[in-house]
Structure 1
Amino acid sequence: MRVAIYAIRNAGSWRIRMSLDMRVDLMWWAGVARDPTCTIVFIARELPLGWALKMGQVKVQGRGIDSWNIDQWKRYAIESLREELEEEGKFQSNSSFLSEKSMWIWRVQDGCNTAGDLSVHSQRNMERGQKGMELRNSMGAGELKGDSIMRRGHIQENEQRLSEERVQALWDSSMKDAGRGRKAGDLRLHGVMQAVLVDANELAKVLEGRSLLAAEVDGLLAEAAPSMASDWLTATQLAYLQGQLMLGAGVAPAASPCRGAPWQRRRKLPRCRRCGSVALGRTACATCGSAACTYCEACLAMGRSRACTLLLRGAAQPAVRGTAGGSPTEAVGRWGLSAAQSAAAGAALQFLAKPTSRVGIGREELKCNVSVPSTPDRFLLWAVTGAGKTEMIFPLLASILEAGGRVLVATPRRDVVLELAPRLARAFPDERIVTLYGGSEERWRSGTMTLATTHQLMRFYEAFDLVIIDEIDAFPFHNDPMLAYAAQNACKYDGKFVYLSATPPRQLQKEASRGILPHAKVPVRFHGHPLPVPSRLDMKSVAHCLHQRRIPVKLLRNLEQSIKRGAQLFVFVSRIRHIEPFVMLLRRYMPRIRIEGTSSVDPQRSEKVAAFRDTQIRLLITTTILERGVTVARSDVFILDADSGLFDEASLIQMSGRAGRSKDDPAGRVFLTSSHWTSSQKGAISQIKRMNRIAQKGGYLTRDPMNKQASPEH
């Protein structure tokens, strides 16, 4: 995309602005400018969007700038874009975006004092917290003549006439652009501009909390506001001038302070404003005309993000604060939480009720049309597997919703989204709940509660007062800066983050232990029994067993004992290629039970997991794909090759957590089989034992689960 760009002097300072429809800007500044020396310097009619944004990031300053002539402004523009012009030269480009002939100067007050031809002014709508605009003394059907824009006296007569002609030419060319995403009709007509104002306010409303590329805006408006789907650029420009929207590019340099000449600052690498990744790919672009348009390769699956792709972000409202939530007894009564769950939820509620640690309204980088997410206030809810994390977040969600806020629950996998959606709907029947995942039909819908996979967060910007990240240690969120960037962008700058995990990343554990990260531990499951502590079986690797075509006696004996006690058996292996041959080998030894295998590449995975839950399959050989989110009432766990480098401490704890989750079978058995005793195995067992000690010390353990109020199925 190419945009118009100009410099404006208003209220004693200069600034660079870009425009999607210069007709809107001409009318806007003629009405709102109160500075008698207000001046517009038109720099270029069609400049690549990324170039225009770069110029707009820096405060315009220079010696004698108020009296610069056209040649001096051209030199300033060329210096501002030196890097871009040099890059164009590398590609032997003949592109010419800056021409002295296309530049002119308009003294706004001289233009509008004659007849009030372009009298548009803004006013704040205090009730809605938005900016509105009303039109007065609109021009009727007359043409925009040079005599009504410029008056003699401030510049020489020949320069005045030339400027008048160029203003008229700009208006005429902008009229011809109508129909290419811009509003048709003469904006000087009262009815036409009023329609643009209505569209601008509607556009700001539907884009609130969104971060969308131009193609995504088309999709949103086709569903939410079809009347403006074909000509929203004009309304966008008006909403931008009113402060309702932020205009950006899919790829732009990292944020820089809004001071200093652009050629005096160190070069910043371009980054994708959607996913945060460094964008180094360049290609010729027919859209903007550049021979070296930068694009992002990291998030191509969600549509191409380019330096010339328009990125719209709705202006955010301040975050709401939750209430303290009352006493733990009240939480138990409303949500049926156990003592341990209620204590953790109470600590989290106190966190939500505290003011954010960051003060002030807005960010300096927003003034530069660049946004860099800062880490919001965070809280870690560290709950053992099977503790009932979902039920524990109900009081947190209610606290923000009752205060009029919006909440987000993000989880790594689609199947978890689909599982949680009906549970949240039952708990909050009066809320509008939107579920987002790849292929979701609710992609453009808006709700007070959003349940989404982490990749979907890239389409939000400061939308939520509370963001809850479930299983922060799980793939794909863990160690993916792109998703962390998206999650931080989705939370309001003064909003709150809550992490849920049974196995937090090591860095978060350190921050919690040092008191840097506020947190609460839930060391016991809802049924009040201790976590099963894994036992070790010293045996050869799975590969060795397959090569020998033999199952070690100690492993076979324990498998048979689990079958006799009526348990379902999870058998975890480290390699997908081992699953089928190990299934065939086990079937020889245990022909009376149904044995199956599944993995991430198995098209029948869902059917097999369902059959396993229904006890049709008694022994399921799988990988870490089932280490989370699967609950089977009576189950034992066997982790083969537990010394594999693919099994870290967190994954061993998660796999072990498949056992003992039911109140009817709280003491499931867990075995780690390996030929070596690794630090990951030692750490996993140590953490499980430590949680049991904390639970015992806190008085949360019971030997009679019937004395505890049963929580819903976890």
Structure 2
Amino acid sequence: MLQKKRRFKANQSQEADGLKVAVYVVEQGGDWEARISLNMAVDQLWWTGRETNVPGWNRQPADRIVLLSRSLPLGWAVKLATACRFTGKMQHWDEAAWSRGAAALLKAEIRAEQAAGGGRGRDWPFEEVEMYRLVGAKGYGGGEEGSVDWGDGRSEWTGEWMNEHGNERTNARVDRRISEKADERVNGRRNERESEWTGGRMYGHGNERTNARVDRREELAAGADRLAEALAGRSLLQGEAEALVAEQLPELAGNWLAAAQLAYLQGRLRLEAAVCGTAGAALGLRRREVLRCLRCGSVPTGRTACAACGLAGCAYCEACLALGRSRACALLLRSAPLPAVRCTAGVAPTVTARRWGLSAAQAAAAAAALGFLAEPRKRSAAGGPERFLLWAVTGAGKTEITFPLLEAALAAGGRALIATPRRDVVLELAPRLAKAFPADVPAVLYGGSEDRWSRSRITLATTHQLLRFNQAFDLVIIDEIDAFPYHNDPMLAYAARQVCKPEGAFIYLSATPPVELQRLARFGRLPHARVPVRFHGYPLPVPRHVQMQPLNRCLKQGRLPKRLLQALQHSIDRKAQIFLFVSRIAHIDGLLLLLRRMYPNLTIEGTSSKDPARAGKVLEFREGTISLLVTTTILERGVTVPHSDVFILDADSGLFDEAALVQMAGRAGRSKDDPAGNVIFASAEWSRSQRAAISQIRRMNAMARRQGYFKS
């Protein structure tokens, strides 16, 4: 018996690696449904309804099974299972009719594959459709026990005849050919097929596999429970799921696909093709199908011959290739979503301020957001979770404002996510969250994180990590929605929408929201709250303009303009840490040589996204070891240096939009001990972006003054 079990596992592994699955339709109590299978032995136990004393197993036997294919490319099988529509006439279908119906739904795929040189004959891939009845089932035709009504061969799946051309001559030829093929099958194997499905005909290996599975049914049900729990809220490719199982559930490592199949039959997991069509095939629509990557939402542009599924043209996604190849034959496992939780009541600003030590402006914004969370959730017109914008100036303390929101979500029994674009911001926020919520230490996710499979009620992640979740969270807080790489990246926007439960809530955080969100807020179409003042209660520093030639010309001449040098000297004299922003990495080295010659007693360094020592230099700058740091926009946000001034050279560059200028200016004046830091826009032209940035800063200051938030 041990030898037989080992043989079964080897066969199962081979099938899984081949990324081909079985697909069948099942009749139960007059209702039909289509299913795919990673392990048909599990489906056999499920649909026979045996061993009803084991929890987690189907207890109502099926009447009939029609096995359309034992080994179909995953993408094709998923489409077939989701696209077929069932009618009463199917009660009378024979193998030929089922074969034509299945082929019709995959007509586009079959044609494309044949055009690419694939295919294995005119009946491919449904040469071996097999029909089975179970104990107590009615006859195939719905009449006397054992009687068969083979029907007229007309398909009810699409309402069309199942040939390509639709003319009578072709109809007659196709019907005659399929009828002959069906007669040959029926005469040779009808008696075998009318034996019970549990007789082993389904697999070709007798009862050995099934008996082994029956003996382990309790263990398999327990394995399905553990796997479904570990995959809750996840969206993982097969390789990622295998890594999770190896680390978290090593006892399932040799047989986890069987557990996944049982969880799928139980409705607790969804088995998807990572790349699949999004047109209304299931609705019978005729518009052209569009392939999309279910992981990132992109439209795949690549096709290649695939040894795994055997197709000559297997589609794959290039947009998220760095996270593992998502392709039409790649298994994507997703958990079934759970209902979202909702906060029951808002909290008064004074209570919030006292609990978390918030300023009046912070507490008012938090109370408004809590009131939003307490409202009954409904699907928005855009078809996603409800959204709320928290528009807070740089240095307002957005992280602290989210603490009451996280507390409310956790108190209601929910799960919360904070997503931010950059790894360094994640690492900075992690200890602050752990200190604020010691009973729920957050799972911290970024590339190479050790917490990748950790489960916590609070998750802190870079936005790319969201691609591995699906409808997992009741509350999703997206920080810095205007920042790279989230801004203008449809893939990450798609990922953010996918991680929130349909009846959950989104909180957007930003000091410089995208124009579209600003417009929606202004016209009352987006619930929002503004925090127009920093936590210390002093105005935002308003930038001053200094006229200068383009930086590249200054570097060629070997000198900087006098007014800029005067402003720099003022910052040096007051011992400020100086951010000196430039628009291009190529300018950094030349500017360093010039500045070091002019200020030999000052510690001056430069850094950019290409600098491997960036993290160390930023740390030294924060600690005061470095006095002046020449940098690009990589430090425009997420870095707080208490006693600092900001200089932006070539501020009229097209690379510096309004949001970037506001964020860079926001590095100054963040400390209550030095709230009036200096900000200089140095440029040859007075650009629209500079005017807009200064206008936005002044508007926020005016709003804070009107609302009485400034310290007297």
Q: TM-score scaled to structure 2, two decimals?
A: 0.87
**1:259 CA displacement:** 2.8
Q: Is the 8 A contact 2:409 2:475 kept in 1?
A: yes
Counting only pairs closer than 5 Å after superposition, residues 106-505 of structure 1 correspond to structure 2 as 106-110=132-136, 152-154=146-148, 160-164=190-194, 167=197, 168=199, 170-173=201-204, 186-187=211-212, 189=214, 191-254=215-278, 256=280, 258-260=282-284, 264-358=285-379, 374-505=383-514
Question: What is the CA distance between 1:568 and its match in structure 2?
Answer: 1.2
Contact 2:390 2:508 (C-alpha < 8 Å) held by counterparts: yes
Aligned counterpart in structure 2 of residue 8 of structure 1, from 5, 26, 35 = 26
Who is 2:559 aligned against?
Answer: 550
Give 1:641's aligned residue. Answer: 650
Q: Tell me: CA distance 1:452–1:95, structure 2 relative to 1, closer, same or farther (3 Å).
A: farther
Q: Deviations over 1:591-611 (max 9, x none)?
A: 221221111111221222122
Asked if the contact 2:268/2:335 (under 8 Å) is kept, the reply is yes
CA contact (8 A) 2:592 2:604 kept: yes
User: In structure 2, what is the Cα distance between the partners aligned to 1:24 and 1:112?
Assistant: 23
Over aligned residues, Cα RMSD in angstroms?
2.3
The CA distance in 1 between the partners of 2:147 and 2:482, in whole Å, is: 69
Q: Give 1:588 deviation, angstroms.
A: 2.0
Query: Which deviates more from structure 2 when the two are superposed, residues 98-107 or residues 165-174?
Result: 165-174
Superposed CA deviations along residues 176-230 of structure 1, whole A, max 9, x for unmatched, are 9x9xxxxx662563x3112111111111111111111111111001111111112
Question: Corresponding residue for 1:24?
Answer: 42
**Map of 1:138 onto structure 2:** none
Could you tell me which of 678, 698, 701 is aligned with 1:692? 701
Q: CA deviation at 1:62?
A: 5.7
What runs of 5+ residues in structure 1 fail to find an aligned partner?
A: 114-149, 179-183, 361-372, 704-714
Aligned residues of 2:533 and 2:710 also touching (Cα < 8 A): yes
In 1: Cα distance, 2:271 partner to 2:612 partner: 43
Q: Is the 8 A contact 1:634 1:662 kept in 2?
A: yes
How far 1:105 moved relative to its partner? Answer: 1.7
Q: Which moved more, 1:27-36 or 1:494-503?
A: 27-36
Tell me how far 1:254 sits from its aligned partner: 1.3
Task: Give the residue type in structure 2 aligned to 1:107.
Answer: R
- The answer to whether the 8 Å contact 1:104/1:166 transfers is no
| 2-structure distance, mates of 1:433, 1:386 | 23
| Deviation beyond 6 Å, 4+ runs, structure 1 | none
State the shift of 1:15 in Å. Answer: 2.8
* 1:71 partnered with 2:96: yes
Q: Distance in 2 between matches of 1:64 and 1:236?
A: 33
Residue 508 of structure 1 aligns with which residue?
517
Structure 2 partner of 1:539:
548
Between 289-298 and 466-475, the greater mean CA deviation after superposition: 289-298
Secondary structure of 2:136 counterpart: helix
Equivalent pairs counted in the alignment come to 644
Q: Deviations over 1:29-86 (max 9, x none)?
A: 23258699x3322111100010011112224246832211211111111111111111
CA contact (8 A) 1:71 1:100 kept: no
CA distance in 1, matches of 2:556, 2:87: 77
Q: Which residue of 1 aligns with 2:663?
A: 654
Cα distance in structure 1, aligned partners of 2:84 and 2:501: 26
Closer, same or farther: CA 437–175 of 1 in aligned 2, 3 Å: farther
Question: 2:568 corresponds to which residue?
Answer: 559
Distance 2:133 2:194 in 1: 11
Quote the Cα distance in structure 2 between the aligned partners of 1:415 and 1:407.
20
CA offsets, 1:359-401, max 9 Å, x none?
99xxxxxxxxxxxx94211110000000000100000000001
Asked if 2 retains the 8 angstrom alpha-carbon contact of 1:325 and 1:346, the reply is yes
Matched, 1:578 2:587: yes
User: TM-score with structure 1 length normalisation?
Assistant: 0.86
Q: Distance in 2 between matches of 1:193 and 1:10?
A: 22
Amino acid at match of 2:546: L
Q: Return the letter of the residue paired with 2:191.
A: R
Deviation at 1:551, TM superposition (A): 1.0
Report the CA distance shift for 1:28/1:639 in structure 2 as closer, same or farther (over 3 A).
same
In the alignment, is the contact (CA less than 8 A) between 1:384 and 1:522 conserved in 2? yes
Distance in 2 between residues matched to 1:68 and 1:152, nearest whole Å: 15
The answer to whether 1:670 aligns with 2:679 is yes
Alignment partner, residue 163 of structure 2: none
Q: Is the 8 A contact 1:571 1:639 kept in 2?
A: yes
Give the secondary structure class of the aligned counterpart of 1:700.
coil
Q: Is the 8 A contact 1:524 1:531 kept in 2?
A: yes
Q: Match of 2:283, SS?
A: coil
State which drifts further: 453-462 or 264-273.
264-273
C-alpha spacing 1:251/1:100, structure 2 compared with 1 (3 Å): closer
Deviation (angstroms), 1:258: 3.6
Q: CA deviation at 1:650?
A: 0.2
Aligned to 1:43: 68
SS, match of residue 673 in structure 1:
strand
Cα distance in 1 for residues equivalent to 2:204 and 2:672: 74
Q: Tell whether the 8 Å contact from 2:24 to 2:35 is kept in structure 1 after alignment.
A: yes
Hey, what's the Cα distance between the residues in 2 that align with 1:3 and 1:174? Answer: 18
Amino acid at match of 1:328: P
Question: Helix, strand or coil for the counterpart of 2:674?
Answer: coil
